[in-house]
Amino acid sequence: MKKKLLSVMLASVLTLSMAGCQSSAVNGVSEDQNTTNATDTSAGGSGETTSNASADLNIMLETPVESLDPQQATDGTSFEVIADFTDGLMQMDADGQAVNAIAQSVDISEDGLTYTFHLREDANWSNGEPVTAADFVFAWQRAVDPEIASEYSYMLSDIGQIVNAQDIIDGSKDKSELGVTAVDDKTLEVKLNVPVSYFLSLMYFPTFYPVNEAFYESCADTFATSPETTLSNGAFVLDDYQPAATTIHLTKNPDYYGADSVQLAGLNYQVIQDSQQALMSYQSGDLDTTLVNGEQVDQVKDDPAFQAIGAGYLWYISPNIQEVKELQNVNIRYAFTMALNREAITTDVLKDGSAPTYTAVPMDFAAGPDGSDFSADQEKFSDVCRFDADAALEYWNKGLEELGVSEITITMIHDADDAPIKVAQVVKEQLETTLPGLTVELQQMPKKERVQRMQDGDFELGLTRWGPDYADPMTYLGMWVTNNSNNYGFWSNSEYDAIIAECTTGETAMDAEARWAALYDAEKIVMDEAVIFPLYTQCNAELISTSVSGIEFHPVALNRVYKNATKN
């Protein structure tokens, strides 16, 4: 069977711009990066500093890094830093297209089931050893190894459809049987169960990044917890980091195969969770980029340095349907979602261009076979998800009657960051004002603790978000499959599971139009049962110094990429 050489990804999806944001988006194609924004950050303003072209870029982080292990990391902040010093087989260009990185070329069989990656000869680890196909085999086997228990193992099974991945995750096959083979040092062969049109775009997701086995074994349990236990094959080298650190520093990697195009001397991250402190640091020149929130936007929105950039995250409230009796009542859930004034949250609280959202899959994110946006119609579920105080009260009273109670007290957990704190306070006010007899108690905590509690089912309501890993509705809809680790409410529906399975491995997976229609059906089940209460699709309001240009912004997988940035 003759194979064809592709230098760009195969994708059935198109890219749309982030309509809810003030900055324009650049069209790109990618399963999980459909709405890619590439912004030339030539902005003016109070953060302007004078520096040499090869200076460090000073970057504000809103939350700490949770893990720098590519197969264990689960949050966007960690993914960003990992991608600073690690390249995968593919990377994103400024438009979000999948382009070659460690892979110099890829052959795809005519049936779409075999991918053969040819690795570049000049890719090396920072200890001088070459990057080999075996590094990818080892890393991917780690990702599906039940002993590692990677939360993103489903990227290889449900999403990537790599042969034997699911059986290995379930424990019925050994990890050595994963459908990935090092043909030789520079040739990696991957076998799939079914064709996956967006497979190449998965390759820039950190779970698929390589790990040098000998180095990993030498680190024992300390792997990726310090500069000494971290290897680089990317644009920068980690030289200052410890878990839960408030500062992280990376230096340009002189041995990087693309070093000639890297203009920054390094990256200097500062974790600042107080928005006022962050703004002051930017204004004093200690930061080159910073997020601004709420009332700060009113102060700086006319500054040329201000930009609202699509971040791709869907913020929503997850009810614990399995454990909380009151939330098992669908009328109570309808009352909650109808009582939420999303427009007030985005316009009066966030003020950053974020868009009210009434669907389980956000708008301007994934386009179907005909080019239409999957969630362009934000009123398609208005019978069960809209702001309607009268309808909310009607559902509330009906639910209370069915439960045989007149009052409900419920606790909502949320992150201890600026925006989630403000949003949670407004949600509490809206719910309590509209629904008499309801008391919402708020508990704020570090993100890591909040995520752990939601995964453990130790919560009642949780304010959370999901950032897309690839530009297809499945990146959201796959979360609600029974026993998925991100199905925080432990909801289960056999009809839903069957639709998702059919769209993943069944005949429907081979028919783009039929698959799209089936995914609509799946989303309808999620919304009709009020599995989540969608709130808004996030934009980031940022100030970026006039001395900085070339930062690439992507609302999918990797939100910010710095290897082509400059600072003058």
Residue 283 lies in a domain: no
Residues 163 and 54 in one domain: yes
Looking at residue 37, what is its pLDDT?
Answer: 33
Which residue is associated with the tokens 């796959």? Answer: 478
**Which DSSP letter does residue 509 get?**
G
Q: Is 264 within a domain?
A: no
- Helix, strand, coil shares of the chain, percent, nearest 5, are 30, 20, 45
pTM for this model (two decimals): 0.76
The total number of structural domains that make up the chain: 2
CA 390 to chain centre: 35
**One domain, residues 118 and 160:** yes
* Residue 374 and residue 456 share a domain: yes
Same domain, 122 and 225: yes
User: Does an H or E element contain 307, and which?
Assistant: strand 306-319
- CATH number (domain holding residue 214): 3.90.76.10
Tell me: do 449 and 550 sit in the same domain. no
Alpha-carbon distance 351 to 328, whole Å? 34
Clarify whether residues 525 and 561 are in a common domain.
no
| 128 phi-psi bin (left φ>0, alpha ψ -120 to 50, beta other) | left
Domain that holds residue 490: 310-538
Model pLDDT, residue 14? 26
Domain contains 254: no
- Report if residue 255 sits inside a domain: no
In terms of domains, do 343 and 362 share one?
yes
Q: What pLDDT is attached to residue 18?
A: 31
- Burial of 19 by CB count in 10 Å (0-12 exposed, 13-18 middle, 19+ buried)? middle
The answer for residues whose C-beta is within 8 angstroms of residue 432's C-beta and 6 or more apart is 438, 439, 440
- Cβ partners under 8 Å of residue 103, min gap 6: 89, 90, 117, 118, 119, 120, 188, 203
C-alpha triplet 513, 519, 98: angle, nearest 5° = 75
Asked if 355 contacts 363 with a C-beta cutoff of 8 angstroms, the reply is yes
Residues 209, 316: one domain?
A: no
Q: Are residues 148 and 209 in the same domain?
A: yes
Q: Which of 427, 366, 490, 449 is nearest to 75 (CA)?
A: 449
Examine residue 460 and state whether it is found in any structural domain, yes or no: yes
279 located within any domain:
no
Residues 504, 556: one domain?
no
Q: Are 527 and 549 part of one and the same domain?
A: no
Q: Judge whether 92 and 558 are in contact, CB under 8 Å.
A: yes
CA geometry: angle 106, 92, 45, nearest 5 deg: 165
The confidence score (pLDDT) of residue 244 equals 84
- Assess if residue 299 is contained within a domain: no
Per-residue pLDDT of the chain (568 residues; tens, 9 = 90+): 333 333 333 333 323 233 334 332 222 222 233 223 333 333 333 344 333 346 999 999 988 999 999 999 988 899 999 999 999 999 988 877 889 999 999 999 999 999 999 999 999 999 999 999 999 999 999 999 999 999 899 899 988 999 999 999 999 999 999 999 999 999 999 999 999 888 998 999 999 999 999 999 999 899 999 999 999 999 999 999 988 889 999 999 999 999 999 999 999 999 998 889 999 999 999 999 999 887 888 889 889 899 888 888 899 999 999 999 999 999 999 999 999 999 999 999 998 889 999 999 998 878 788 888 999 999 999 999 999 999 999 999 999 999 999 999 999 999 998 889 999 999 999 999 999 999 999 999 999 899 999 999 999 999 999 988 887 899 999 999 998 888 999 999 999 999 999 998 888 988 889 999 999 999 999 999 999 999 999 988 899 998 999 999 987 788 899 999 999 8
User: What SS3 state is found at 96?
Assistant: coil
- R_g (Cα) of the chain, nearest Å: 23
pLDDT for 54: 66
In a domain, 293, yes or no: no
Tokens (6 digits) for 167: 């059986």
Q: 328 with 183, same domain? A: no
